[in-house]
Structure 1
């Protein structure tokens, strides 16, 4: 039986596109049942329209407080009845109430090799620190920023003449491979979590 996945995105949605293409190609045993966005101008909305994915727009700027926004977001997420919630360039930190409502059912992709270079601009942090290898990490979301159990990581060399954009472009290629793979493993029931360790069966 196919799993139900919902995607949360704030911007261009290139990882969202990679996921819906993998579903269409039969590489992920799932149906994308919703795109939820906090940004009414997100290009991800156009991608969802072309793929026939229902869209919910919760414009963050129209809410009186973060708490009010999160109440609406939690309701929207529950309404999808998704088995997995995929953060794909979603630029807001989920509050603990939302994370606790969907334990081990929310995943994120981060453009660095966690636990290094958490938060914004992971690629810039890698270049400025002078590391020789960077990459991307798919992880379960917990109540701490970029700290949940790691599912998959892919490495990318940092070249001597790299700037933030050049490294980001190369990491993004791996993100588009890594995220669909991690989602497939989840949907096939092949991820087993023990403490901080995720084992692939």
Structure 2
């Protein structure tokens, strides 16, 4: 649910429309990456995430990005069921956004071996307080990050002009850490047929 609009709506709407227009300029690239903008009605953008690297391709999740009071306040990001648009609870979240610590001096082969042995520490950029809670994107440029008491020293105003908090930045991070790493081949043979009782008369 959007927060109450306290910034002049004309200002926020103009900035919102600029964000959407910038997305549209690169829409082909986004689509090829599995990012589909389904709805952009101020103050919210509704985006579907799919993984083109997973075969067969799958719809992973939806994301609602709320630009209320933008850019005095950063956007809010909520992962939602792509069919109902209801926010996922942490226990049902079908996506994670794992990030590992930089290891500049370690050859890729060694890093891969270390990862397979569980020797590389990773953190999930999506956080939550309990399995029944709505998870949040813990990333500078996102409202939930800057509103979290753990980040009181990292004001949104320090990031506001950096590009963090833009629609492009947020979707790029979700793609980089959540969508792009997914790679799996699913091989099975089955026939899709309606259940007898579901066939209309």
TM-score by length of 2: 0.31
TM-score by length of 1: 0.31
Name the structure with the higher strand share. 1
Larger Cα Rg: Structure 1 or Structure 2?
2
Structure with more helix by fraction? 1
